[in-house]
Each structure stands twice: as C-alpha cells, then as structure tokens.
Amino acid sequence: MKLHKTRLRAGIAVLAGLVLAGLLLLVGLLLWRASQSAQAVREPALLTRTESYVVPHIDHSSDTALITRGAYLARAGDCIACHTASGGTPFAGGLRMHTPFGVIVSSNITPDKTYGIGAWSDAEFLRAVKHGVAPHGKWLYPAMPYNLYARVTDSDVLAIRAYLNTVPPVHAANASNQLTFPFNIRPLMLGWNLLFFNPAPFQPDPQHSVEWNRGAYLVDGLGHCSACHSGKNLLGGDTDYLQGYDLEGWHAPEITGNPYTGLGSWSTQDIVDYLQTGTNRYSGASGSMGEVVSDSTQYLDAADLKAIAVYLQSIPGSGKTAPAPIPAEDPELTLGHQIFLANCAACHQSDGTGVEHMIPAFAGNPGIRAEGANNVIRTILLGGRTAATQLNPTSAEMPAFDWKLSDAQVAAVSNVIRNSWGNAAQRVTAQQVATLRAELKAQPQISADR
C-alpha cells in the first residue's frame, strides 16, 4: 500500500504544535491529570452506553454479519492505508511517516497476541481508537486520527475489531518511532489533547433527515475527511471546516455546498460517481484522493455515498465567490491559449469539456478554480493518473510537461484554464510554479525552443 506524502501532513502539523502545547502542559499538567483520571474511571461506561446512533442497514444477528460489517467499516475508516507498509502485509503496520522532527511508524494492528492487538480487551481497543491512549498509558500521536474516530460509535469500532481478529496475525514487533527530543515524549500529547481533542460522541441532529445524519456521521467519523479538507491552525487543530487546505504540494479543495469553490454546482450523483468510480463528468480523483477512493470510498454502498453527498452539499461553507476573471485579451492569456491549443486541447478539448469519465473538464470543475492552484500546477508539471476502481479499472493518465514547458508557460496555461469557459480565479505566477517545481523535484525545462 503506497502512502502518499500528504498523509504525513497530520504528523507534521501536530509535531509542530507539540512545542507550544508542551509549554501549556507545564502549567496545566497537574491540575488536568486529576480530571483525566476521573475520565479514565468513567471509561468502562462507554461499553455499556446505549448507542444513540445505530447503523440502520446491517444485520447484527450472527458473527459473520458482525465481521462483514466490520470489514465494511474498516474500509470506511481506511485503516489499511496507514497501517500497511509499502509492499507489506495488510494491517501489520510499519509504514514510516517522515516529519521534520523524525519518523512516526504506524502500528501492527493484526490480532497477534504479542505484537498486535490480539491480547487487548475491547475497552483497551476502544480507548486507543477513540481516545488515543493505547494500553500501558501509551499516548498516541494524532497522526492516528483518533480525534475524529472519537465520533464513531462503540459498536462500530468493536465491529472493526471483530473483523481485524480474522486477519492473519503477524508476529513482528512495531518498529519504534525515531523522533527527536522533545517530540519523543508521548505524554506531551496530554497538552495537545487538552487543546484540540473533543471526545464527545456523534450527536445526531433531529432537525435533519436520517440520511443527512448518516452522512455527517461518516464524514466526521470514520471518513476523517476533515483531516485533509479542513484548514489547520499553527498547532495542527482543525479550522474552516471542509473549506479546503493546501497539503504537501496538493490542494484538497473545499467540499461544502459552496457553488463556486465547493460542491454546490455538482449534482448529488456527480459526487457519488466521483467517490465510487474515481471520476465523474467533470473531474477525476488523483493523488491522495485517488488513494482514498481506491482504498476506501469505492467500497461504500450507494446509500452511504449518497448520504455523504447530501450532507456535504448542505454545509454552507466559505462563502467564497468568483473573483473578476483575467480578461481574455490579457497578453499572458493570449500566449497561454496558444500553449493550450498546441499541448492540451487534443485531450481536454478546445472548449475545455474533456471526455466524460476519462479526461477531466475544466469547465464546471471547482477544483480547477480553487484558490489553491497546487493541483493544477503540479498536474501540468508531473502529469497524473486517476484512481483505478472496480467500476473504472483502466484509469486515465496525463503526461508530464515539466520537461517541455517553462515556469512562465505553465503559469500562462494555468491562467487560461482557470479563467476561461466560465471560470475565474486568482492569477498563478511563474514564481509559484518555480517554487512547486523545486519542491516536487520536477525536471527543469529541457529546451526553450520546443
């Protein structure tokens, strides 16, 4: 299982936050510890709490049903993506997440009794997944999204455990993290949790339909969509809910109902298609979203995907509106248009409409006009590939243009596709392209006169 760099974002932001959180910790630790132990005492109650929100459509009658349901939910939570090293056994951990402060290694969550979760009680499993504390008081780093899994019901987490119990145990120790001091001090996470961790369970909103609530439950819990799509403050806490975020050379676009930068202009079915097949009539999922689609959302049933779409479209979002477009007679756009016709129109069509379910359109594609232009620039430099899924096994590929186009040419053609066919967006500069070219270690242009 390949881990994309962007998954490391959580770890990086969180570790940066540790320094400040640590200071806070010095002041508040003793006082807070008292209230924590009170919480630990309350913990077993989680097991007996009547679930306020029960998954509607799954049979609980036998173990097989429980395991099937657990397998489904493990996919919804995409546990496999982080808990599998590249080329490694599923769920055996060992994926190395590089951060400026060292390496965080994901854990073995197979049912091995020594090195995995085999000997854990259900209460210990719940506490690790939903509260970020593994047995023996091991405070987890939020590179494991327990702050979002806290919304998942106990019965769903225990179904995932029932499924994990059926995968082959791997008798191999977790490699230890290699973090520099003071980031290697796990109890510092007390400080982070105090600032950002809200252990409240999911609360259904009676003002909304069962479908909407199911969507909210999946997006905010197992789906951990906000890990990439929400802004982050300096300490790695979430801000600007699902309104878009730049991560490691990508932009995870706004996915609220905002009609311009969000999903408001797509139909509910367009969103379902995107999450289920990896493409729709406007766009295709690549990069870290391609991995989310191929590891996780393609396996969700149509009712759950529709619930997610209905919920996302109901969020008002950022309120961002279109800026004034760069006028077509702008000299940069004139140049960019020639580059577009010579290099891009054969696939994307001269009117920017692409080929449905294969080659993305630029018209009607909110990701193209997003404030963050990273996806546009990086796809032109490096090319890309959309997710391969059961329903769309031959994913489409775009060639790289780093060797062919200069920074100024990439900027010019980006400005064309972001400011034509009804699009309008901030100007991309050659400097922005140069910075991303260096960051992505893309090739320099080979010859200026091609």
Binding mask 300-339 for ligand HEC (x = CB under 6 A): --------x-------------------------------
Structure tokens at 152: 């998942």
For ligand HEC, give the closer residue by CB, 206 or 444. 444
225 binds ligand HEC (CB under 6 A): yes
172 binds ligand HEC (CB under 6 A): no
16 binds ligand HEC (CB under 6 A): no
387 binds ligand HEC (CB under 6 A): no
Among residues 17, 22, 70, 145, the one that binds ligand HEC under rule CB under 6 A: 145
Alpha helix (H) residue ranges in 43-97: 45-48, 63-77, 79-82
Structure tokens at 119: 């000997």
346 binds ligand HEC (CB under 6 A): yes
Rounded CA-CA distance 248/359 in Å is 24
- The three-class DSSP label of residue 313 is helix
82 binds ligand HEC (CB under 6 A): yes
DSSP 390: T
Q: Minimum distance between the CB of residue 202 and ligand HEC, rounded to whole angstroms? A: 15
385 binds ligand HEC (CB under 6 A): yes
Among residues 21, 46, 66, 140, the one that binds ligand HEC under rule CB under 6 A: 140
249 binds ligand HEC (CB under 6 A): no
244 binds ligand HEC (CB under 6 A): no
For ligand HEC, give the closer residue by CB, 237 or 384. 384
Q: Minimum distance between the CB of residue 52 and ligand HEC, rounded to whole angstroms? A: 20
> Which of 287, 390, 319, 334 lies closest to 75 in space, CA to CA?
390
Distances (CA, A) of 376 to 94, 232, 250: 32, 22, 9
Q: How many CB atoms lie within 10 A of CB 208?
A: 15
CA end-to-end span of the chain: 38
406 binds ligand HEC (CB under 6 A): no
372 binds ligand HEC (CB under 6 A): no
Structure tokens at 230: 């929400």
> Which of 17, 260, 27, 261 lies closest to 252 in space, CA to CA?
261
Q: Minimum distance between the CB of residue 351 and ligand HEC, rounded to whole angstroms? A: 14
- The three-class DSSP label of residue 392 is strand
294 binds ligand HEC (CB under 6 A): no
Number of residues that bind ligand HEC (CB under 6 A): 74
- The three-class DSSP label of residue 53 is coil
344 binds ligand HEC (CB under 6 A): yes
292 binds ligand HEC (CB under 6 A): yes
Phi, psi of 381 (to 5 degrees): -65, -50
Q: Minimum distance between the CB of residue 69 and ligand HEC, rounded to whole angstroms? A: 13
Cα-based torsion angle of the residue sequence 58, 61, 65, 66 in order, rounded to the nearest 10 degrees: 90
396 binds ligand HEC (CB under 6 A): yes
Among residues 70, 236, 237, 253, the one that binds ligand HEC under rule CB under 6 A: 253
DSSP 298: G
Among residues 214, 229, 232, 357, the one that binds ligand HEC under rule CB under 6 A: 229
